Amino acid sequence: MFYTYILLTVLAAPTAVPPVDRPSLEIRAERMEVNQKTGKVSFTGDVKAQRGKLLFRCGHLEALYKDGKLLTMTASQDIRVKSTDFEAQARQANFDQTKGILILTGRPKLIRGKSMIQGKRIRIWIDDEKVIVSYMSMGRWMD
């Protein structure tokens, strides 16, 4: 199986805040389509994105760039997120690189050990290891 491979160094940060060293982002997929005019890059087929400790998998991912820097990513199709501390699942996801926030929607679940929580929207601050679950619909906490 042929995989398209791209390695992107993402160091985007808001201009009002001093630059933050962010881990590089490595994306692999079966197919990649680039539109230089719009700055949009589409990845399809067994998409795997690695950013530091975070592994992100999905069927389709669209990234938006400006001046060679990643701004946002939008994902769909069987989203699975894995980190050293947690795992998550969702139907849709949006990642804002400038804020370092991953937003999961579409029956998102967050799993940590034997504990699981589900809500309408789960926001994960990747670099700060902070999570907010909105409209929690189900939770199970176990030691």
In tens, the pLDDT along 95-133 reads 998 888 999 999 999 998 888 999 999 999 988 878 888
Comparing 37-41, 51-55, 87-91, the range with the smallest average pLDDT is 51-55
**pLDDT confidence of residue 142:** 54
Q: Is 17 exposed, middle or buried (0-12, 13-18, 19+ CB in 10 A)?
A: exposed
Query: Which distant-in-sequence residues (6+ apart) come within 8 Å of 103 by Cβ?
Result: 93, 94, 95, 96, 121, 122, 123, 124
Q: What is the model's pLDDT at position 107?
A: 93
Whether 11 shows a pLDDT value over 70: the answer reads: no
| Comparison of pLDDT for 59 and 130, the residue scoring more | 59
Residue 141, pLDDT > 70, answer no
> Average pLDDT in the 10-24 region?
48
State the Cα–Cα distance between residues 7 and 52, nearest whole angstrom: 13
Q: Reply yes or no on whether the pLDDT at 66 is more than 50.
A: yes
What's the pLDDT at 16? 43
Average pLDDT, the chain: 82
